Structure 1
Amino acid sequence: MTLQPPFINPTIPFSTEIQGGLKDGMIITVCGRVMSDADRFNINLEYGSDVVLQVNPRYSWLLPISGYVVHNTRLKGKWGWEEPKMGTPFPRGQMFALQIFVTKDSYKIYTNGELFSEYNHRLPFSNVDRICVVGMVDLNLVTYRYSMHHLNALSGSLIVPYKTIIYGGVQPGRCIVIQGQINPTANSIGFSLRHKTGIAFDYSARFDKNVVVCNSYEDGKWGKTEQTDQMPFTRGRHFLVVICCASHEYNVFVDGKQTETYPHYKTLEEIDVFELSGDLQLNFVQL
């Protein structure tokens, strides 16, 4: 199935159609950074003027750092009862990764790889045809897809080195999201997209030389190395990496900034394994 292309670094306010509408098993991913002086922002699933689901992080002088999150629905111009949850996985000034997993009974809302809340349907999710994001937030990624293996796609407390199957292979429009923290004394970290006989894309950040290296391994030998001295990672710091697989290239984004474009020489559907290694703590992976 061809995936709808992801939206990379879209402007706020953001609004776009969800092609084909929502279905049971769909995962909506929103990655970004909350502004340091934010008072609130909204992530809405809409149908016409109705808001079928609103996820609304709020901040105030009483809760300047942690804040809280409100869930609600608006039907024919009238809001329903608020479902608040104290505390927030969206601290001011920090990166976040949010997933809304659609089930037949509810929306399961994951943040940074962990289940944060669950919101029972008040209106049919099949009505939803649009996602909107407004407020004091910078967006890095908005994407949505269907998954029969959501428990493998949304994972926390992951062990490094990490290896997992990409069910159905890689397709144009697929984005791989990785969130974690570099160790204070790190020497290197690496991400690999593999197939049965080689490595389609190998991305390695080497702190000892302060370089990033990209390559591929085919027919028993490495290809031509591509190297840059623009290091997007910092020892001891958190990071959010997005690898977007386009029809002719891989695009790598670190903390919302594009750092690499690497052409691929292998049929995407043949790539079925993702690996990660190095000196880091891994918090979250979505395939």
Structure 2
Amino acid sequence: MAFVPAPGYDPAYDPPVPYITAIPGGLRPGMLFYIRGTLAKGYTRFRVDYATGQYEGSDIALHFNPRFDGRDRVIFNTFQNGAWGEEEKKKDTPFSSSRPFELVVQITQANYQITVDGKPYHEYSHHIPMDRVTWLNVKGDIVLQAASIIGCGVGSAGSKGGAVGIPGGLPPMVGPVCNRPAIPFTANIPGGMIPKRTLVVAGHISSGAKSFIINLKKYSSNDIPLHINSRMIKNVLIRNTFLNGVWGEEEKDIQNNPLQKGQFFDLSIRSGDQNFKVYVNGHCLFRFDNRIKNVQEIDTVEIQGDAELAYVFF
């Protein structure tokens, strides 16, 4: 079964470059853009533009442009009314050909806050009103593994060419976004995991990992209606429940477990009266029968193990 993102979340997995996508509803404070990629062979430069249109000549509110030509640097600029503004420049570039990188741009009322691999890198002020910025363009010498728009508008023109609306009656994801949270991680799920609600956990499994665990819990009783446990040493993916102080019957048969050492994952859990559906990188990983009567009582997410989290969103 194909993964349909809930309103408020617009991910792309291994998209081709150039990558051009709409920003549903335009920019607003609290939104976060996540890009994971590597520099392409023979790289000289790449660019990430937040623009008012999808075509050449459109105004660009933020032009983020790493250049590798012997004078390695990163250029920040705005293109408006057919002319470039005054450049802002950083001579230290955090990008390397030897490893993947994570680029995060968070939108605030005052500026774009840019981090690379979890470290603050630059802040760039708004030069064009946020609601005019409706397109994301990624071009140049970069290979994308993931590109996600987190906290985008509901009911606006979306990147797939139609209205975002609420596909299949999916409740919108409204956040806030938990950006680069530390493990162990615990958070309250406001309103609980009502039917069809989606919870997203993205990150990277450590190269020496032994296990990675996600629990959906009932805070009042400490019950765990859904326990996901990737045990790398035994190469199994356990699914189970812990109810009334007793573990249930394990499920562990699965063809391919993507939650492995050294791997990036974007994992979505969708609740239901009958079962939970779990997707990784847009592909259905498994279904797990719901063993409790009311999924809305699930009000806590708990994450443990050997991984670095990029974000948690629900």
Question: TM-score scaled by structure 1?
Answer: 0.77
- 1:128 and 2:133 correspond: yes
Question: Counterpart amino acid of 1:88?
Answer: T
- Which secondary structure does the structure 2 equivalent of 1:182 belong to? coil
Query: Do 2:112 and 2:123's aligned partners in 1 also have CA atoms closer than 8 Å?
Result: yes
- 1:50 and 2:59 correspond: yes
For residue 308 of structure 2, what is the aligned residue in structure 1?
282
- Give the CA deviation at 1:234: 6.4
User: CA-to-partner distance for each residue in 1:175-233, whole Å, 9 max, x for gaps?
Assistant: 322246333xx432323343445435433232322x13141416444355133475656
Change (3 A) 1:219 1:188: closer
Change (3 A) 1:129 1:166: same
Aligned-partner Cα distance in 1 for 2:308–2:301: 14
Aligned-partner Cα distance in 1 for 2:311–2:21: 25
Change (3 A) 1:79 1:240: same
Query: Do 1:99 and 1:110's aligned partners in 2 also have CA atoms closer than 8 Å?
Result: yes
Query: Do 1:200 and 1:264's aligned partners in 2 also have CA atoms closer than 8 Å?
Result: no
Aligned-partner Cα distance in 2 for 1:54–1:174: 31
For residue 34 of structure 1, what is the aligned residue in structure 2?
39
Kindly report the root-mean-square deviation, in angstroms, between the aligned alpha carbons of the 2 structures: 3.3
For residue 161 of structure 1, what is the aligned residue in structure 2?
184
For residue 268 of structure 2, what is the aligned residue in structure 1?
244
- Give the CA deviation at 1:270: 5.5
Query: Do 1:5 and 1:173's aligned partners in 2 also have CA atoms closer than 8 Å?
Result: no
Return the match for 1:227 from 249, 253, 268.
Answer: 253
Question: Counterpart amino acid of 1:50?
Answer: D
- 1:74 and 2:79 correspond: yes
For residue 207 of structure 1, what is the aligned residue in structure 2?
232
Query: Do 1:179 and 1:285's aligned partners in 2 also have CA atoms closer than 8 Å?
Result: no
- Which secondary structure does the structure 1 equivalent of 2:93 belong to? coil
Query: Do 1:54 and 1:72's aligned partners in 2 also have CA atoms closer than 8 Å?
Result: yes
Question: Counterpart amino acid of 1:52?
Answer: A
Question: Counterpart amino acid of 2:210?
Answer: N
**Larger mean Cα displacement after TM superposition, 259-268 or 104-113:** 259-268
Query: Do 2:201 and 2:268's aligned partners in 1 also have CA atoms closer than 8 Å?
Result: yes
Question: Counterpart amino acid of 1:273?
Answer: T
Q: Percent identity?
A: 24
- Which secondary structure does the structure 2 equivalent of 1:94 belong to? coil
- 1:20 and 2:43 correspond: no
User: CA-to-partner distance for each residue in 1:115-162, whole Å, 9 max, x for gaps?
Assistant: 221001111122111111112222223222166745xx1236x3x433
- Which secondary structure does the structure 1 equivalent of 2:131 belong to? helix
Query: Do 1:189 and 1:206's aligned partners in 2 also have CA atoms closer than 8 Å?
Result: yes
Change (3 A) 1:81 1:37: same
Query: Do 1:6 and 1:173's aligned partners in 2 also have CA atoms closer than 8 Å?
Result: no
For residue 97 of structure 1, what is the aligned residue in structure 2?
102
Query: Do 2:34 and 2:102's aligned partners in 1 also have CA atoms closer than 8 Å?
Result: yes
- Give the CA deviation at 1:169: 5.2
- Give the CA deviation at 1:42: 1.6
For residue 113 of structure 1, what is the aligned residue in structure 2?
118
| Higher CA-based Rg | 2
Question: Counterpart amino acid of 1:164?
Answer: A
- Which secondary structure does the structure 2 equivalent of 1:126 belong to? helix
